[in-house]
Structure 1
């Protein structure tokens, strides 16, 4: 049976003694889960999207090429998605709270150990692996939990949570901008850790799982890979996310190395690219829920981002870089929020939401692991210039958008007005 062809019933028995009458699609408890999701994304993706803080600092401090340093951030993103298969299945089995507690412990341990790190392998272990594992144990289960509370408003709910990547992406660089010159790197990172700790306490006090545990069932649902729309969607998001984070990592370095802008101005670019991600996440969510559906919406967003990455080649001034940063942040933020929303819409059996979402998360983790270091290696091959990396980013993104078109057509046919 196709991914989207089975209609959700009003009442479905999920576990003995429990009748699921469908997602409430609103209410205090449902929106509190969105708040929890926002804070989790704030802690995880807000920190990750601010890696431009760390990239130039680590290059200078450790005297290593950009491609080496990018492995720290890309490992973190890889594990956010890669752990999804396990953390998603744990959520389905009823272990949401223990999974989150372990996730927050690892997240905080990684941040505070980063503040003590002085060598490359220490940053890899602390920020890349430990913090990444913590992020991964938190992110996928929270997306799955929110998807069980919403139906018609699902994209808006998940995208509102995804706005945490924008708010966190403004707060963490602002902390760095204000505190790095005054208290140094170690204590600046610790202050970020205390912000994460506060958010963790709020989340653990409010998060609630709606559906009863699904104790049986495989870790991987291999049958999903026999469904062409699911396979094409997974492939499309692989190529799209292979290139999405390139600009977040390197726009600040591009400004400093190629345009020779000041440290202060380069921090402002990070604030811009993350700040415009706030409307970039909400506007496509509203369009998706009201008119088009998440898959139909993510396709033009991805295609637009590919054009922008190609357009980056023609940027030769601060004004041009500022415009590029603002527009790309809008579309890049939209891709990040629409991806889990579109993925959750491919799962009609909500008791399997964690498993099926986690499977695609694990696939795209390979893309997010290799994308930024590959871009850094291409910069090195180009003697510090960015042309090869810009071509890689634009080409990968356009290929991703074409595969997403294939996923949509394989499910609905050539009917432009059909929501998906």
Structure 2
């Protein structure tokens, strides 16, 4: 029977012309294989044997018709199975762009940033305390905070891909556990190397693991309001930078370092547990892009911008780490009052993180707003050389905090604007974060080393910070010129 079907190709081609699809031909082949593979020595029930015998003795056209009927039944079952499999993952539809669940994710993202970057930018409060209690130089102590900031950047550049791979919950859960372990072991640390491991390495890795996936998840709930939602969430940076120093200032003199840090750990535990419970991925897993996009290294505007931001980032961390020390050593404020400067420096950044993005979206474009902000930054750093009294230093801290926050909030937006292919924007942003993480790593220690070499005179490190910011500003301006030319009225 099978040989007669295979030899009579003309009748089969005629059947195909009458409406057989490619799937029918494929299924007929499967039918033929089944017939060949059917063993002859198996005893089937009588009624099945009779049906099979009748089919074998039927004319060739009848046999082809039977094969076609079975093939169509197979196609129907295949389509049903495919439909069931496809609909087992619900189509999420467009982002809700608001509503209770979306804004709940925004709040969870705010908590995640508050407990990562808020904690990291509060290191100025610990820098001053460690300088008084540890037999280490200011430059050496700075490695604790700079390592923490570097690892949040560096690990976050890769952990964001966990959301795409469908590993959001385990990645976030592991990151939170590592951060909590780092904080609670920090509370019993007595030596420099112990603090470097616990506060620097463990909290940096843990924060990097859950910070970026949380932000990526939040952005999937918004489309038209995404910029506003991200701006609101990033204010957690400044809020954490106020909350942590306030707790340290109030509790450290009363209950000591160990229990103060345990209170910070309890705050982390409660708020991050809230995130674990209520953060819910909206999209099904999808394939991520490459880790490195090599054509970016040939993109002159992108390279100039990222390298320029390395020169800008290092002085930012020097100023955040040493502002309380300057208030104590130069202005003459006691330790508890010097922490007020850390609180102001971070707190004033809350409105400053939202307004530049709004202006960039509505009117000028991110680079056209970014360049004036960093220009004011280097002017302020030169002005820092003349600050010697309490009132002047408070004024400097307020103004500098506004423009430093503007730099931090617009950086990722500018990277996105320099990516003409939006499918590669995420990869390029991850590459930029990885690069500037090393600037965050060395900023505080370089400033501290210059401070120590200059016999604890802040003139040397401030001049270095201002000069580095000038170089970075020139490179970012060069990025803008290479992208859009010298015309100032062009959106960029």
Same fold (TM over 0.5): yes
Q: Give the C-alpha shift of residue 206 in structure 1.
A: 2.9
Distance 1:217 1:167, change over 3 A: closer
Question: Counterpart in 1 of 2:139?
Answer: 67
1:224 aligns with 2:296: yes
Deviations 1:80-123 (A, max 9, x none): 11113321233332322222111111111111111010011100
Aligned-partner SS, 1:245: helix
Partner Cα separation in structure 2 for residue 112 and residue 391 of structure 1: 38
Aligned-partner SS, 2:292: coil
1:130 is matched with which residue: 184, 202, 205? Answer: 202
2:428 is matched with which residue: 350, 356, 360? Answer: 356
Distance 1:410 1:213, change over 3 A: farther
Q: Give the C-alpha shift of residue 272 in structure 1.
A: 1.1
Question: Counterpart in 1 of 2:10?
Answer: none
8 Å contact from structure 1 (residues 23, 150) kept in 2:
yes
Q: Give the C-alpha shift of residue 217 in structure 1.
A: 3.8
8 Å contact from structure 2 (residues 293, 424) kept in 1:
no
Q: Give the C-alpha shift of residue 403 in structure 1.
A: 2.1
Aligned-partner SS, 2:434: helix
Question: Counterpart in 2 of 1:400?
Answer: 472
Deviations 1:230-267 (A, max 9, x none): 22221122111111121111111011112221223212
Partner Cα separation in structure 1 for residue 216 and residue 382 of structure 2: 34
Partner Cα separation in structure 2 for residue 228 and residue 25 of structure 1: 35
Question: Counterpart in 2 of 1:386?
Answer: 458
8 Å contact from structure 2 (residues 164, 288) kept in 1:
no
**TM-score, normalised relative to structure 1:** 0.89
User: Where does 1:181-330 land on structure 2 (aligned, <5 Å)?
Assistant: 181-215=253-287, 217-330=289-402
Partner Cα separation in structure 2 for residue 294 and residue 29 of structure 1: 29
1:83 aligns with 2:155: yes
Q: Give the C-alpha shift of residue 196 in structure 1.
A: 1.1
1:32 aligns with 2:104: yes
Q: Which has the higher contact order (CA 8 A, sep 6+)?
A: 1
What RMSD in Å do the two structures reach over aligned CA positions? 2.4
Q: Give the C-alpha shift of residue 200 in structure 1.
A: 0.8
Question: Counterpart in 1 of 2:406?
Answer: 334
Q: Give the C-alpha shift of residue 26 in structure 1.
A: 4.1
Distance 1:416 1:149, change over 3 A: farther
Distance 1:299 1:18, change over 3 A: farther
8 Å contact from structure 1 (residues 85, 358) kept in 2:
yes
Q: Which moved further from structure 2: 218-227 or 237-246?
A: 218-227
Partner Cα separation in structure 2 for residue 28 and residue 417 of structure 1: 40
8 Å contact from structure 1 (residues 236, 404) kept in 2:
yes
Q: Give the C-alpha shift of residue 289 in structure 1.
A: 2.5
Question: Counterpart in 2 of 1:106?
Answer: 178
**TM-score, normalised relative to structure 2:** 0.77
1:169 is matched with which residue: 231, 238, 241? Answer: 241
Count how many residue pairs are aligned between Structure 1 and Structure 2.
406
Q: Give the C-alpha shift of residue 274 in structure 1.
A: 1.3
Distance 1:150 1:129, change over 3 A: same
Distance 1:21 1:222, change over 3 A: farther
Query: Any stretches of 5+ residues in structure 2 without a counterpart?
Result: 1-85
Q: Which moved further from structure 2: 145-154 or 69-78?
A: 145-154
Aligned-partner SS, 1:57: helix
Q: Give the C-alpha shift of residue 68 in structure 1.
A: 0.4
Partner Cα separation in structure 2 for residue 70 and residue 383 of structure 1: 17
Aligned-partner SS, 2:353: helix
